[in-house]
Amino acid sequence: MKKVTDFKALTIDELKQEENSLRKELFNLRFQRTTGEIENPMRIRHVRKDISRILTIITEKSKAKS
């Protein structure tokens, strides 16, 4: 789990790339949970919160830009 300051240092394009990779990871984690081979179920919660943080920062940056 990254900190907010780590995400704020990135550009909007980098944040969108990070969001895409986290969404892929979330899909894989959900798939692992369904098949019963997930190692750390709490990772799903951390990934979801990271996605939420990224979306919030993207919104803040786009509002500040306009």
pTM (2 decimals)? 0.90
Q: What is the pLDDT of residues 24-46, one digit of tens each?
A: 999 999 999 999 999 999 999 99
Instruction: Kindly tell me the burial class for residue 47, based on how many C-beta atoms sit within 10 Å of its own C-beta (0-12, 13-18, 19 or more).
Output: buried
Q: Which ranges of 1-66 does DSSP label H, i.e. alpha helix?
A: 4-8, 12-35, 42-65
Q: Is 43 left (phi over 0), alpha (psi -120 to 50) or beta?
A: alpha
Full domain range(s) for residue 55 = 4-65
Q: At 43, which CATH number?
A: 1.10.287.310
Q: What is the pLDDT of residues 44-62, one digit of tens each?
A: 999 999 999 999 999 999 9
Give the lowest-confidence range in 3-7, 10-14, 32-36, 60-64.
Answer: 3-7
Rounded distance between C-alpha atoms, residue 27 and residue 34, angstroms: 11
pLDDT of residue 5: 86
Q: Looking at the 3D structure of the chain, how many domains does it have?
A: 1
